Amino acid sequence: MNRMANYLTQCLISNEIIGAERKEEYCYGFEIALGKLLNYSALLLIAWYIDLILPSVIFMVFFCSLRRRTGGYHAKTELRCFVGTVGVYIFAAVVIVPFIIRNIYVGLVAFLISAIIILLLAPVNHPNLDLDDQELQQNKKLTKKVLVYQAIGLGFALLLELGAVYMAFAIAGVGVASIMILLAKT
């Protein structure tokens, strides 16, 4: 990732799109973007293989919409991040989601517990982000809004009987976000 990020940044500098003084900033941005692209592409490939693309996209939407505002555990290396991301997704898809499908009301309780954890402990300030107090408060407010929208979405899905598999993946996404916060706090 680092080599690719450096290469892309050097291309921007060589073509005078950015100044050399911004090299470190752009390298970091490219590393993050490339890491996310790799991780989410791997998840989508796995989802395609197990024939659960749409539920997996729902998982990623629920998880990512919280994760970007709440922070949480970050692996120390790109490889650990990749292995952890793929491992957590597979565990969620193979173990957690089938359990929630069989016990949807237990899943809704898990959503509620996860939401409470997120509301109490988030956001988690990562050293690479170095958010100030105002940014932390803004993320806290946005997190509350996201959780409300997610709860409303789950409520409608339940009322309209849209399918337990979709709800289970959504609940798992919120649960994983809360676990990442708990891991960061320990």
Q: Are residues 17 and 70 in the same domain?
A: no
Q: Model confidence at 82, in pLDDT bands (50, 70, 90)?
A: very high
Q: Are residues 88 and 25 in the same domain?
A: no
What pLDDT, on a 0 to 100 scale, did the predictor assign at position 145? 96
Task: Give the 3-state secondary structure of the chain.
Answer: CHHHHHHHHHHHHHCCCCCHHHHHHHHHHHHHHHHHHHHHHHHHHHHHHCCCHHHHHHHHHHHHHHHHHHCCCCCCCHHHHHHHHHHHHHHHHHHHHHHHHHCHHHHHHHHHHHHHHHHHHCCCCCCCCCCCHHHHHHHHHHHHHHHHHHHHHHHHHHHCCCCHHHHHHHHHHHHHHHHHHHHHHC
Q: Are residues 113 and 172 in the same domain?
A: yes
The number of domains in the chain is: 2
Q: Are residues 119 and 162 in the same domain?
A: yes
Q: Are residues 80 and 169 in the same domain?
A: yes
What pLDDT, on a 0 to 100 scale, did the predictor assign at position 171? 96
pLDDT digits (tens, 9 = 90+) for 101-146: 999 889 999 999 999 999 999 998 877 667 788 988 999 999 999 9
Q: Are residues 24 and 87 in the same domain?
A: no
Q: Are residues 57 and 110 in the same domain?
A: yes
Q: Are residues 126 and 68 in the same domain?
A: yes
Instruction: Domain of residue 42: give its range.
Output: 1-49
Q: Which of 33, 49, 65 is the last residue of a domain?
A: 49
Q: Which of 13, 32, 49 is the last residue of a domain?
A: 49
Q: Are residues 59 and 17 in the same domain?
A: no
Q: Are residues 57 and 142 in the same domain?
A: yes
Q: What percent of the chain has a predicted confidence (pLDDT) above 70?
A: 99
